[in-house]
Amino acid sequence: MNILVSAGPTREYFDSVRFISNPSSGKMGYALAGEAARRGHHVTLVTGPVVLEPPRGVRVVRIETAAEMAEACKETFRKADAAFMTAAVCDYRPRGRVGHKRAKKNARLKVVLEPTEDIAAFLGRHKGKRLLVAFAMEDHDPHVHAERKFHKKNCDLIVLNGPANVGRDRAEVELFSPETGWTGPFRGTKAQVARRLVRAVERLQARQVSRSR
């Protein structure tokens, strides 16, 4: 399969040096990209700024902003068979970025935020027979909110994780699909979780092929 993996954070600038972001390490996405490549898939990793070395055999597209992430993911998804949307894309960006460093003043600085594009939802609307795996980070009514995201984004599988997983080498996740309902929790290193997720998508793809015969 041709597989798209998005990973890491985005940076949303309000002047030439200052930005809002989040603490995503990209470890889950990089683990998925590495596992998929090891299993013989052709992988494109669209990654925000992280301090990780890319896995071997993976095509890497580096981005900074949510808009750049959206453009790269849309372009890559055109030729993909499946996508893992693990990136922690900022939900908001400052409106009216200035091209220079704002001088520090005693007055308060007001920054107006506007929503960024929901990339996974866009891919879901245009996926056709391609497979889409989204991630939901929730800590309040997690199953309810994750299932809402599943339907909103038109996913084939959604992975529920929590804020405690951010930046760590281990993860605890649950999976939801219409065929199985909720399964898990699954605990292990992010490499072990990635192995489970790649195999799950391989099974979904095999099921699609079988149905089309």
- Active-site residue list: 22
In this structure, what token pair is assigned to residue 27?
A: 């470890």
Measured distance CA(94)–CA(58) in Å, rounded? 32
Quote the distance between the C-alpha of residue 189 and its chain's center: 18
- Interhelix angle 27-38/190-212, nearest 10 degrees: 50
- State the alpha helices, DSSP H only, in the chain: 27-38, 66-77, 119-125, 142-153, 190-212
Query: Which of 10, 45, 7 has the alpha carbon at shortest distance from 26?
Result: 7
